[in-house]
Amino acid sequence: MEFKEWLLACKPGAYAWATVSDGFSGVHLPGLRVTLVEYDKAGGGEEPLCMVSEEYLDDLNAGLDTYQSFGDVGHDDGRYGVLVRVESDCVAWLAWDEEEEDFYYDVFVVTAPDQELSVEQRSLFCEDPDPVQACSPGAISGAIGAWVSETTGRNDLCFYHDDEFVPKRYIDAAKALLALHKGGGLAGGSGGGGVNSAFFEAVEIMGPAAAAELVADLRLEMLRTNGSQ
């Protein structure tokens, strides 16, 4: 069932959304992918929502992608599902990790957009952190509701954040990784096609650096296991 068809057919009421990637402790950076829980259970979250800031969505519509996060993404190209406009309502202060070439997410402070860090908050960081636009769960819930209302004409649906739900794609990926660990094989090997496709989906979720490390560890463990038989 197509996502919009599912929205048109679902019963009035409140529906939970869950993080697919890039969320931490209830605060999210614009570019977050989410899924509606009931839709994920019914259809596997094949068409997630991607929450994109006002300015960034305007850049994408103009053919610009400053951070190269989305590539050549349009509204319905299928890679990121539906792009939904969401306004940032807070700031996440994050330190840059030179080695990983990404922000260090283990330590962060959330403030109002016009609020500076206190001396105590600044002391949590070894170096000066950067202010990054972020979205609260409330802002995302409101953006989903506004998009659904605009897209379907329905005003009898509301949305809230479920921080305990595990999206189906993560469960499928975990099963695939377990099967691979037990000898399922990579693409082109002896494993089944379902295992292989879910494994590479897991790799996409994890990102290239973490995925490469995992593949190396799994291969080493498989060599040890096979060698001891």
Mean pLDDT in residue range 20-26: 67
**Average pLDDT taken over every residue of the chain:** 76
Q: Are 125 and 118 in contact (CB under 8 A)?
A: no
Reported as a single tens digit per residue, the pLDDT across 114-163 is 899 999 999 999 888 999 888 999 999 999 999 999 999 999 999 999 87
What is the CA 142 to chain-centroid distance, rounded?
18
Reported as a single tens digit per residue, the pLDDT across 55-111 is 777 777 777 766 555 544 444 444 556 888 898 899 999 998 888 777 888 888 999
b/e code 108-144 from CB counts within 10 Å (16+ = b): bbbbeeeeebeeeeeeebeeebeeebbbbbebbbbbb
- pLDDT at 183 (0 to 100): 62
- pLDDT at 137 (0 to 100): 92
- pLDDT at 64 (0 to 100): 72
Closest CA to 136 of 50, 70, 51, 75: 51
- What does each C-alpha distance from 82 to 37, 57, 99, 158, 206 come to in angstroms? 16, 12, 33, 18, 21
pTM of the prediction? Answer: 0.72
